[in-house]
Amino acid sequence: MCDLALFTYIALAVISSFGAALFIGWLVHSSYRATSVYLYVTLLISGEAIRSWINVQGRLYALANDGSFYLFSQGWYWPSRNILSLVALTAIVAHMTYRVATGKNLEVPEHWSEKMKKWFRR
């Protein structure tokens, strides 16, 4: 029997783990020189990898239907699986709020603003 949730968790875990390794590898290769956006994306992808692998484990326990998921969900792994993603999203929102509040780096490339104006006029 194919469990779509388990398949989705595994696919997300594999892809996000590869992405995290790719981003972290490039960060190391570049001697840890990166923009804040690059760091935020690296944190987001890494957080997704961690969350997905914990979701895989939780789904396997849930499918076992022997009460093991309840015990797993009461441990520290399950409730803490979103912490890295929360940190990354908080950093992005705080950074962008700062940029909007201070008026720093708000320029939008002209071609994008023109394209959007044409799109909304349709």
For the cut 70, the answer to whether the pLDDT of residue 113 exceeds it is no
The pLDDT mean for the chain works out to 87
Query: Over the stretch 19-78, which tens digit does the pLDDT of each residue have?
Result: 999 999 999 898 888 888 888 999 999 999 999 999 999 999 999 999 999 999 999 989
Question: How many Å apart are CA 99 and CA 86, to the nearest integer?
Answer: 20
Q: Which residue has the tokens 């023109």?
A: 114
Q: What is the pLDDT of residue 99?
A: 81
Q: Are 46 and 19 in contact (CB under 8 A)?
A: no
What is the 8-class DSSP label of residue 75?
S
Q: What is the pLDDT of residue 121?
A: 75
For the cut 60, the answer to whether the pLDDT of residue 87 exceeds it is yes
Q: Which position has the higher pLDDT, 84 or 115?
A: 84
Domain ranges of the chain: 4-121
For the cut 50, the answer to whether the pLDDT of residue 110 exceeds it is no
Instruction: Tell me if the pTM is above 0.85.
Output: no
